[in-house]
Chain A
């Protein structure tokens, strides 16, 4: 009780004072009223007052201070309040008595160690017992009433970095060594250690006994770890391990907090961390005041967890108040969130903080998250845009405009017509990995059908299909592509893609057909195709209206500003697909209206988007169709292929596909033994390969090379 009341009377805040020289170690007297700071060039006692540190006493006296003053460590006796011990860098162990009347307070001098003494430690209950550990590998126990050490302990290991008397076991002390070992000794048995274990890889710089748990020892090492060992059992057990970011120079258990300990580092890191050993990854609290390496830390009072004192190489002495510490955990981001390409949303959330198990929740946001009418609306908007464009740029003087829908066949966009249909559809076709001739045929016939209706519709359909409102369709797009690749449905024809849009236009008040269903209805029957032709009534009516609005003799140029405005509008909405599609379709009609830089920007964005979705063929088509110099050269770079003959492994000269040496065709399909034209895939290990679909087919049955070379092929 008396102890506690004394604690509460000491207030304080985060304060510091400048020292004259860097500190190596600090120690505090039992009642927390004074602190001693020791270093190579400093040995002073400061009083702790309400509003800061006050220098009380300078122990470095004499004109030429001896090396005995150059301290590596210092300890204030916890029972005898006038008694101090220091470890000198020259190997001396010195005791100081503040009660001495003269200026020189030095009491005893032990010069038994041959090298630097790293640590001194008073026994917690035995007044006259002092322990030292030195670089020379020996530990010595001194009785302060005698002139010499009473016993010497040889660790038989390397240098001793730390020695600590056990708080609860009268006879026990722990020593930590440069080679990673920790030894337990009984002071009555100097001949050999009681116990030894390897605690760290590399030096163990420090150790500290838990103030309450007699069995717990914390050790810190150069391997950046703090480990807590349970020594109470027969077999020493590591119960906690804290990974810090720099080598651990000091470790001190926090008073009154069973699981907390403070650490500081001897290089790189200047901060003091307080860890909760149960949460070994994030510091519980951090003190960030020091500008150089912290060399000594000590809790101000052995029953007060709120104040920590520290000395540093930056020549300051700090009193840290726990309330002022920064809490990294509060600043750490507890959540992760990321949008995927296909509308997936990954969200990493904390479950329960200490349980350790954390779960990521992947929320696949489905394609229909937008209300249906909106989707309709946006599609309707786009199809209307295309219709308007057709009206604006088609043959103005065609009298049969409103009555005969074949106008476009003789429209004034023959070039655009052929390009938009053929090129784009090829792109589309390729995208579905359907390079087959018959497919192309049916494609073209279907496209011709389309021609009769509308020349731009085809590209529109495709455009819509790609990214209409990408957020909505991305998912579909992806799944569909995959379905195709997986199922390898050869019947899958373009028309299905080209037509559904028209369904949507036709019955836009109702919900659009889900795109996923398309692959499931593999054929568009002729009647269906017909019906789609017929259902272009919508466009009819629009056209007839526009006939009334505009004079048929307006030149297409007249509309350019409007179209430009429209394109900019789409670009502003982020619908770069629409902007690029119109650019491509209208070609030189609109090109001059929009500055090169903007066009290039649109193309680049669109190509990037296509490539994200791995639509390489489409993106290449777009590059080919673009008119910007900067874009067109995109697929001109690094187009050289160096080929070796798959038979004799020699480089092929660039004269066709027959190898000069072995006189065989190098690109024979290993499955069907025909020359491969088009997509040729080969194993980079054995260089055998063939038609993509043949090899894929083969790999379903066997992992070995179809050429019979015995190689386990890897296609990456």
Chain B
């Protein structure tokens, strides 16, 4: 069963992104109203807004948390062509009594000349690195050489993807056998431009990122892209939100370590679902990468799960329009159209 709880976010325009922190105790939202909010989980699992501030002078597209090892750090990117790194400072005690925390701007990255569409921190083992992608098709990788100094970021790499970028995802694998890898999705809707998902891999020899793969079968605009948590796998699983939900498996083929050519991959399509019947906007993996959630223009969230045969199936649909829900306090059961009867047999409903 699913228990839904509505939070009046009180943003004045569309919310474009919501992001949990590493430990799942905090949540950040960003909106077109140019503001960001941070929510902390209270004692009885309700979410309290502990910070809300104006961040950019344009729509804020994405917000993302850094690994807590680097402090309480957020990054946001916006239509105003900038990406900003924020840090929470332990505030005055009267701030704390009001339950408010204070976030200060550590740096503004202004290299892009068009809207910055996504921002992601690199996996922790790579150090404190930040990636942005912009509507003019440039992916930029920044590094903070001194993790204690968040106001200094140097632009390490600029990758030109030639297509308007909409989303990026780092391969989270920490294995030394896997070179740092980043997948870039483009929301260019022109089908003739070919594959809209490009995968870049870091090459130790040339010290540059080079294109390793283009998923040629994805020709429609891609809105979101997400590598599954790796969890010791030797291969990579990639979920893509385009006009449908797709799950790809990338199996690295053996290569001799001395060669400077990028890794070759065997690309398999694990699943393809068009049951949203519309644009899919978001995909998100759970922590163990056993469940994939997708949301689309149909206003539904769908949950996907693989069985032991690696067949992916829908295990739940959640209505997300929430209009009747918002007025009622407390939990409302939103479980509808559950295809699998087994779901209804569960005994416990936790709030």
Residues of A within 8 A of B (CB): 224, 243-245, 268, 279, 281-282, 328, 331-353, 356-373, 467, 469-471, 474-475, 479, 511, 514, 516, 571-572, 574-576, 579-580, 597-598, 600-602, 604-606, 608-609, 612-614, 712, 714, 716
With an 8 Å Cβ cutoff, the count of chain B residues facing the other chain is: 99
In whole angstroms, how far apart are the Cα atoms of A574 and B172 in the complex? Answer: 13
CB nearest to A363 among chain B residues: B4
Q: From residue A689, how far is it (CB to closest CB) to chain B in Å?
A: 18
Given contacts A340-B24, A359-B9, contact A601 B14 (CB under 8 A): no
**Chain A residue contacts of B291, Cβ below 8 A:** 339, 365, 471
Chain B 126-174 residues near chain A, CB threshold 8 A: 166, 173-174
Question: How many whole Å from A696's CB to the nearest CB in chain B?
Answer: 15
Enumerate chain A residues within 8 angstroms of B177, measured Cβ to Cβ. 597-598, 601
| B232:A345 contact, CB within 8 angstroms | no
Q: Which of B28-36, B194-202, B203-211 contacts A (4 or more CB under 8 A)?
A: B28-36
The complex places the Cα of A279 from the Cα of B286 at a distance, in Å, of 35
Partner of A347, one of B10, B124, B320, B343: B320
Encode B178-208 as 1/0 by CB contact (under 8 A) with A: 0000000001000000000000000000000
Residues in B with CB closer than 8 Å to A328 are: 59, 79
**Sample of 15 further A-B pairs with CB below 8 A, known A365-B316, A571-B234:** A331-B187, A332-B32, A333-B16, A334-B14, A337-B301, A349-B321, A352-B323, A361-B322, A362-B5, A366-B1, A371-B342, A469-B288, A471-B290, A574-B289, A604-B175
Residue of A at shortest CB range from B15? A348
Chain A residues within 8 Å of B13, by CB: 279, 281-282, 356, 358
Interface presence of B120 (CB below 8 A): no
* Nearest 9 pairs of A and B residues by beta carbon: A341-B24, A371-B342, A368-B346, A336-B18, A601-B175, A348-B15, A337-B282, A576-B232, A245-B80
* Residue in A245, A575, A580 whose Cβ sees the most chain B Cβ within 10 Å: A245
Measured in the bound complex, the distance between the Cα atoms of B102 and A663 in whole Å is 42
* A470 and B290 alpha carbons, distance in the complex (Å): 9
List residues of chain A with CB within 8 A of the CB of B281: 333-335, 337
Task: Compute how far the CA of A144 lies from the CA of B52 in the bound complex, rounded to whole angstroms.
Answer: 56
Also in contact, A366 and B350, with CB within 8 A (given A245-B79, A336-B16, A608-B174): yes
Contact between A571 and B232, CB atoms less than 8 A apart: yes
Q: B57 — which chain A residues lie within 8 A by C-beta?
A: 224, 243-245
| Between-chain CB contacts (< 8 Å), 30 pairs | A245-B81, A331-B187, A334-B14, A335-B281, A335-B320, A336-B282, A337-B283, A337-B284, A341-B287, A345-B293, A346-B18, A348-B9, A351-B321, A356-B13, A359-B6, A359-B9, A364-B45, A366-B348, A366-B349, A366-B350, A368-B1, A368-B347, A371-B343, A469-B288, A471-B287, A574-B233, A598-B232, A601-B175, A604-B174, A604-B175
Q: Give min CB distance, B33 to chain A, whole Å.
A: 5
Q: Which residues of A contact B285 (CB under 8 A)?
A: 339
Q: Which residues of A contact B243 (CB under 8 A)?
A: none
B230 at the interface (CB under 8 A from A): yes
Collect the chain A residues with CB atoms within 8 Å of residue B232's CB. Answer: 571, 574, 576, 579-580, 598, 601-602, 605-606
Which residues in window 218-238 of B have CB below 8 A to A?
Answer: 223-224, 228-235
- Whether A356 and B12, one on each chain, are in contact in the complex, defined by CB atoms closer than 8 angstroms, is yes
Contact A361 B294 (CB under 8 A): no
Bound CA–CA A369/B295 (angstroms): 18
B3 contact set on A, CB distance < 8 A: 363-364, 366
In the bound assembly, the distance between CA atoms of A292 and B296 in angstroms comes to 37
Contact status B346-A372, CB under 8 Å: yes
Q: Are A363 and B318 in contact (CB under 8 A)?
A: yes
Do the beta carbons of A342 and B345 come within 8 Å of each other?
Answer: no
Tell me, yes or no, whether B40 is within 8 Å of chain A by CB. no
Pairwise interchain contact A369-B343, C-beta atoms closer than 8 A: yes
